[in-house]
Structure 1
Amino acid sequence: MRLFVGVLPPRRARDELARALRPHQGAWPGLRWIDRANWHVTLSFLGEVPEEIQPELETRLARAASRHAPMTLSLAGAGAFPSARRARVFWTGLYGPRLPLVRLAESLGAGARRAGAVQVDRKRLSPHLTLARTRTETDVTGLVEAFAAFEGAEWEMSAVHLVRSHLGSTVRYEEIAEYALTAPAPYGRS
């Protein structure tokens, strides 16, 4: 199974993002726009995971998530990887408490490794939601500049999700489990 742990923005945030994107999509027909049903923010990419470790994986991910407090997040701004002039990915950012997000991602990755997931990506978290892709490097500077002013409403993330990727001619994501963030917020804030 190809798995990741991520943030699934609530419907209200996805609706708001879809409305903001609509005027830009027609102007950039060369981009492959991601279906909103697949919008997510990856916190920890686990890669191919053997089914036999799933029970231990779920236990460790639930434990890792429970050690973190809910967080107030929002989607805002725009960017591209590797750069706006040579883009392959166009994205909007995930904003919230940076250090707690990084620590949550690291904790989830460590739990997955202890469960036996060996392909866990160890890259430092760069929280973003992919909106479009392109097969060839494309200059999307104008799109990044036009969408940079986007500021979505805040929402509280109180759980993370274990998601399975089904690859093929189209990508489909299947939510396998949800893990609550139950630690008290430091200083009474998220």
Structure 2
Amino acid sequence: MPRLFTGIEIPPDAVAMLTGLRGGLPGARWIDPENYHITLRFIGDIDGRTAHSVAEALDRIRRPPFDLTLSGIGVFGGRKPHCVFAQVAPAPQLSALQAEQERMMQMLGLPPDPRKFAPHVTVARLKGVPASAVATYIEARGGFRCGPVRVERFVLFSSRSGSGGGPYVVEEAYPLEG
């Protein structure tokens, strides 16, 4: 049973800038640069037949390429931080692409994604790292900015169940055209 999600790959020049965020936060588990991505829709563990239907549905998406900007550093988890990420600046084209995928997945009978779409690139996972250390890290790197990043395709990724950070495999790629 594959564990699938859709996302946007990060190009090499942006990966190079994101790797500059590594370090300076003891106890952080840094994401391997080859696994940097922006998740559009987590699909989950599904059977092969449903996976085939998902791949076919995604192939019907027709949208033009667009640009994104990474701007700022954030953290998920509040007082118990569990993830440090690079923020993605608001982009209507990105939101529209994600919303279309969400509608398609629901039409295939998959449950709605319970989380509000918050585009980001995870750079580190945290466990037991004090919030004060995370605040100091973010204060020092909060001015991070990268872009524009050209988005010319989105992909269907697979991952191992419970791996939490890769490795991710591109199962299908879908060009943005027009």
Q: TM-score range by the shorter chain?
A: 0.7 to 0.9
Structure 2 residue corresponding to 1:157, chosen from 114, 138, 151: 151
Please report the TM-score for the alignment, with normalisation by the length of structure 1. 0.83
Does residue 128 (structure 1) correspond to residue 120 (structure 2)? The answer is yes
Q: Which structure 1 segments of 5+ residues have no match?
A: 184-190
Structure with the largest fraction of helix: 1
Contact 1:71 1:96 in 2 (8 A): no
Structure 1 residue corresponding to 2:168, chosen from 169, 173, 176: 173
Give the secondary-structure state (helix, strand or coil) at the position aligned to 1:53. Answer: helix
Alignment-mate amino acid for residue 34 of structure 1:
I
Q: Structure 1: which 4+ aligned runs deviate by more than 3 Å?
A: 167-171
Does residue 113 (structure 1) correspond to residue 110 (structure 2)? The answer is no
Contact 2:81 2:127 in 1 (8 A): no
Shift of 1:159: 0.8
Contact 2:28 2:129 in 1 (8 A): no
Please report the TM-score for the alignment, with normalisation by the length of structure 2. 0.88
Partner of 2:35: 38
Contact 1:32 1:134 in 2 (8 A): yes
Partner of 1:13: 14
Alpha-carbon distance between aligned partners in 2 of 1:10 and 1:136, rounded to the nearest angstrom: 31
Contact 1:8 1:160 in 2 (8 A): yes
% same residue: 29
Alignment-mate amino acid for residue 158 of structure 1:
E
Contact 1:88 1:135 in 2 (8 A): yes
Shift of 1:144: 1.0
Partner of 1:186: none
Partner of 1:55: 52
Contact 1:46 1:109 in 2 (8 A): no
Alignment-mate amino acid for residue 55 of structure 1:
H
Alignment-mate amino acid for residue 174 of structure 1:
V
Structure 2 residue corresponding to 1:100, chosen from 93, 106, 126: 93
Partner of 2:3: 2
Give the secondary-structure state (helix, strand or coil) at the position aligned to 2:60. Answer: helix
Contact 2:6 2:41 in 1 (8 A): yes
Alignment-mate amino acid for residue 177 of structure 1:
E
Deviations 1:31-83 (A, max 9, x none): 1111111111101110112111233211211213x1x2211112221010123
Alignment-mate amino acid for residue 147 of structure 1:
R
| Residue correspondences, number | 174
Contact 2:155 2:173 in 1 (8 A): yes
Alignment-mate amino acid for residue 74 of structure 1:
T
